[in-house]
Structure 1
Amino acid sequence: MSDTTSDNTAVHLEEQKKEGQRLFIKITRESLPQIKDKYPFIYLERGRLEIDDSSVKWIDSEGNVIRLPIATINTILLGPGTSITHEAVKVMAAANCTVCWVGEDSLLFYAVGQSPTANTRNFRTQMIAASDKKAQTEVARRMFFRRFPTADLSGKSLKEMMGMEGYRVRGLYEQKAKEYGCGWKGRSYIPGKFELGDLTNKILTAMNAALYGLLTSAIYGMGYSPHIGFIHTGSPLPFVYDMADIYKEKLCIDLAFSLTIKMGGLYNRHKVSDEFRKRIIEMKLLEQIGNDIPDFIVGGKNAGSDSQ
């Protein structure tokens, strides 16, 4: 581009500003990356999200300004001391970037800003499956089949499969503790008293909470509801908990015991966040979620089912 062209462009942009015209390029559904192609999440605390003429920007407590490519980010996790402008919320919603309000280091999940979706097709499919007892059990069976690929789950009730899962998870904790040489007295978390847990439990709690926020965002982004589950019931986000159990073994449990050894007894929140994010990217988790949810609900090549 020549200097003359650059100067003319700068003058044109300045004239647009004076006339009050927007410089935003209109975002369309076709121009947005799919869930599987997005960066999983960014955690922010003690600062402000706002916009200027071209982008959403983060201003931290020390005055540093970082521009965020929100169309390529799946979730923004807002921790303590953050604020966000009305215009920033509008632009992020248009880009299908979900905003979650969380506690420090994502240890508590407070609320989520639901982004609008193009239609309710996926939500309707989820509702139909959840409202029929036989269909609901079949979806649950597909989810359990992922964790018990060699087991015969035909004819098993939901209660029986949940019992199998509880036994499997307890054994998994003991197996990982032995594998990594960690002491383990059982899963324990007292709400509001994170600091009382041992190191492994602290790491598990932090990563589980972050996973819930990420899944909530992905579920909303795909047009499903986190409030309609197939295994869990009576909780705020049953479908999130259904899906989280699919990924916890590799993403949370294995990583927690691994980090317990590396941290040498001292909890390091930055290390936990960095390693958790790395593993999400290595696992291609968002791509998995994008494939798994429709497979579980309607049946597919990756789900496993009596009906296949």
Structure 2
Amino acid sequence: MANGQRLFVKVTRESLPQVKDKYPFLYLERGRLEIDDSSIKWIDSENNVVPLPVATLNALLLGPGTSITHEAVKTAVAANCSVCWVGEDSLLFYAAGFLPTADTRNLKQQIELASDAKKSLEVASRMFARRFPDADLAGKSLKEMMGMEGHRVRTLYQQKAEEYQVGWKGRQFTPGKFELGDVTNQVLTATNAALYGILCSAVHSMGYSPHIGFIHSGSPLPFVYDLADLYKEQLCIDLAFSLTRELAGRYDKHKVSAGFRRRVLEMDLLAKVGDDILDIFGVSRARRNRK
């Protein structure tokens, strides 16, 4: 740094890691994000300073007690790292910053598919086929497939409850009253919300829109909810029931976060999501190789 001026190195799209090569997310609470030269540093509540390699991070999840400077936001966005605001305990997903993308190719493809009723149903059908590999979905309407999905999820909850020998009275969540749910429901709410944050960041980074869905509608992030259903069984549902006995009736956000993070890394979620979107959009392997 010379004459009190920060040295900023120009970041180009080609110099940044692809979404699939990034670390999925970093959760921070009770501290401050500031700029140090051209990088971001985290100052925690005990004044410990930790440099953050934002170019290798997909998303920063900011919990309660965090603040961030204007310059830190600019630096994160320049590195294609999303900034999401989340809650304590459940990591409730509140909002995400929008990332600029280099072109609108992926968004245009998404809009074209969603605006054509036949093509939109085909995309939805391919999504459901991921969860019903043995089901015949030919000729099924979206409403019929959604009904099948509802039955499948209820059955899955019961199967997991029996597998892990956990009492289960059904999915329950009251907005703003996280503590009223039992431990299993609390873990489900927490991990679902964290998954939404990661996927929202990935979707923005790849130039798609979280607002243009094929199954869900009338909600803030329908495409994110569409994608989340592809991964919830392993990342959220199985984890919730497997942790319930270990937690012994007391929710522990650290164990939940650690368990969820481990599964996200084991699945290699960010490497999967890009290919999965192309698969459900019906993009051929040959076309992908030409890009």
Per the normalisation by structure 2, the TM-score is 0.95
Contact 1:79–1:105 at 8 Å: present in 2 too? no
- Corresponding position: 1:179 with 2:163: yes
Q: Single out whichever of 291-300 and 59-68 deviates more from structure 2.
A: 291-300
Q: 1:107 aligns with which of 83, 88, 91?
A: 91
Q: Which residue of 1 aligns with 2:12?
A: 28
Per the normalisation by structure 1, the TM-score is 0.90
Q: Single out whichever of 291-300 and 269-278 deviates more from structure 2.
A: 291-300
Task: Return the alpha-carbon distance in structure 1 between the equivalents of residues 208 and 80 of structure 2.
Answer: 14
State which structure, 1 or 2, has the greater radius of gyration over its C-alpha atoms. 1
- Corresponding position: 1:162 with 2:146: yes
Match runs of 1:252-271 below 5 Å: 252-271=236-255
Task: Return the alpha-carbon distance in structure 1 between the equivalents of residues 89 and 110 of structure 2.
Answer: 31
Q: Which residue of 2 aligns with 1:194?
A: 178
Q: Which residue of 2 aligns with 1:225?
A: 209
SS of residue matched to 1:39: coil
SS of residue matched to 1:230: coil
Q: Which residue of 1 aligns with 2:78?
A: 94
SS of residue matched to 1:262: helix
What does the per-residue CA deviation read over 1:254-304, in whole Å, with 9 as the maximum and x for residues that have no partner?
A: 011001111122111000001100000000111110111122123457xxx
Q: Percent identity?
A: 70
Contact 2:19–2:270 at 8 Å: present in 1 too? yes
Task: Return the alpha-carbon distance in structure 2 between the equivalents of residues 197 and 188 of structure 1.
Answer: 6
Q: Which residue of 1 aligns with 2:36?
A: 52
SS of residue matched to 1:48: strand
Q: 1:249 aligns with which of 228, 233, 255?
A: 233
SS of residue matched to 2:58: strand
Task: Return the alpha-carbon distance in structure 2 between the equivalents of residues 254 and 103 of structure 1.
Answer: 22
Alignment gaps of 5+ in structure 1: 1-15, 302-308
SS of residue matched to 2:162: helix
Contact 1:188–1:197 at 8 Å: present in 2 too? yes
Contact 1:79–1:106 at 8 Å: present in 2 too? no
Give the 3 Å change call, closer, same or farther, for CA 106–68 of structure 1 in structure 2: farther
SS of residue matched to 1:119: coil
Contact 1:42–1:77 at 8 Å: present in 2 too? yes
Task: Return the alpha-carbon distance in structure 2 between the equivalents of residues 19 and 299 of structure 1.
Answer: 50
CA shift for structure 1 position 161: 0.5
Task: Return the alpha-carbon distance in structure 2 between the equivalents of residues 201 and 116 of structure 1.
Answer: 35
- Paired letter, 1:93: V
Alignment gaps of 5+ in structure 2: 286-291
What does the per-residue CA deviation read over 1:1-48, in whole Å, with 9 as the maximum and x for residues that have no partner?
A: xxxxxxxxxxxxxxx51263x423221111111111110111111111
Q: 1:64 aligns with which of 13, 29, 48?
A: 48
Contact 1:56–1:88 at 8 Å: present in 2 too? yes
Give the 3 Å change call, closer, same or farther, for CA 289–65 of structure 1 in structure 2: same
- Paired letter, 2:111: M
Q: Which residue of 2 aligns with 1:13?
A: none
What does the per-residue CA deviation read over 1:164-223, in whole Å, with 9 as the maximum and x for residues that have no partner?
A: 100000000000000001000000001111111001000000000000111100000000
Q: Which residue of 2 aligns with 1:134?
A: 118
Q: 1:210 aligns with which of 190, 194, 202?
A: 194
Note the aligned Cα RMSD (angstroms).
Answer: 1.2
Contact 1:77–1:106 at 8 Å: present in 2 too? no
Q: Which residue of 1 aligns with 2:59?
A: 75
Q: Which residue of 2 aligns with 1:39?
A: 23
Task: Return the alpha-carbon distance in structure 2 between the equivalents of residues 86 and 300 of structure 1.
Answer: 41
Q: 2:104 aligns with which of 120, 124, 128?
A: 120
SS of residue matched to 1:17: coil
Give the 3 Å change call, closer, same or farther, for CA 56–106 of structure 1 in structure 2: farther
Q: Which residue of 2 aligns with 1:4?
A: none
Contact 1:47–1:59 at 8 Å: present in 2 too? yes
- Paired letter, 1:23: L
Contact 1:123–1:223 at 8 Å: present in 2 too? yes
